[in-house]
């Protein structure tokens, strides 16, 4: 459970060092979340599936930061779906912790895009890393469709070509 294997995004982004690492940190969206009883299991640690909810919130806030929200996308008959998730659990979060979900977009294409996400504790230590591949679908037929041009351009700008 707590062994670490590099994932594609981790391998790409972990190659950044020094000032490049600071640039990467500035490019990441950030969301702080407090851990409540409802988030934990009987041992008082965050139940593993709840991290998926935290990561979803992080991606949603990322979209807001670049000028889009979920309602806007729905109004345009577009939804984003998760195609693939790879999680690396490093250490548990516990009741009353304040965690930080960081999100960075990369691999932006016309229909698909990926996120590198990490969850940190209040000391900045990694709790979890995630690679999440997403796709854009039409709401009426659930078929792949292009990301709206304005949003695609914002995503590409935020990805800095990674």
Q: Which residues are catalytic?
A: 41
Taking CB atoms within 8 Å and a gap of at least 24, the contacts of 145-150 are 145/78, 145/111, 146/110, 146/111, 147/78, 147/108, 147/110, 147/111, 147/113, 148/76, 148/78, 150/67
d(CA 18, CA 80): 34
Q: Which residues contact 31 (CB under 8 A, 6 or more apart)?
A: 57, 58, 61, 100, 101, 103
Helices (H), 3-130: 8-13, 19-27, 50-65, 70-75
Radius of gyration over every alpha carbon of the chain, rounded to an integer in angstroms: 16
């Amino acid at each position: 459970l707590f062994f670490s294997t590099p994932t594609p995004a981790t391998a790409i982004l972990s190659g950044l060092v020094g000032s490049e690492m600071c640039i990467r940190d500035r490019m990441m969206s950030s969301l702080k979340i407090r851990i409540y009883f409802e988030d934990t299991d009987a041992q008082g640690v965050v139940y593993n599936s709840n991290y998926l909810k935290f990561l979803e919130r992080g991606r949603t806030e990322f979209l807001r930061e670049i000028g889009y929200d979920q309602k806007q996308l729905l109004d345009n008959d577009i939804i984003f779906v998760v195609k693939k998730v790879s999680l690396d659990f490093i250490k548990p979060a516990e009741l009353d912790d304040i965690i930080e979900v960081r999100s960075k977009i990369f691999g932006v294409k016309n229909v698909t895009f990926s996120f590198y996400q990490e969850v940190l504790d209040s000391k900045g230590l990694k709790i979890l890393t995630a690679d999440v591949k997403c796709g854009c679908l039409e709401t009426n037929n659930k078929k792949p469709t292009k990301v709206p041009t304005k949003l695609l351009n914002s995503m590409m700008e935020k990805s800095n070509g990674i």
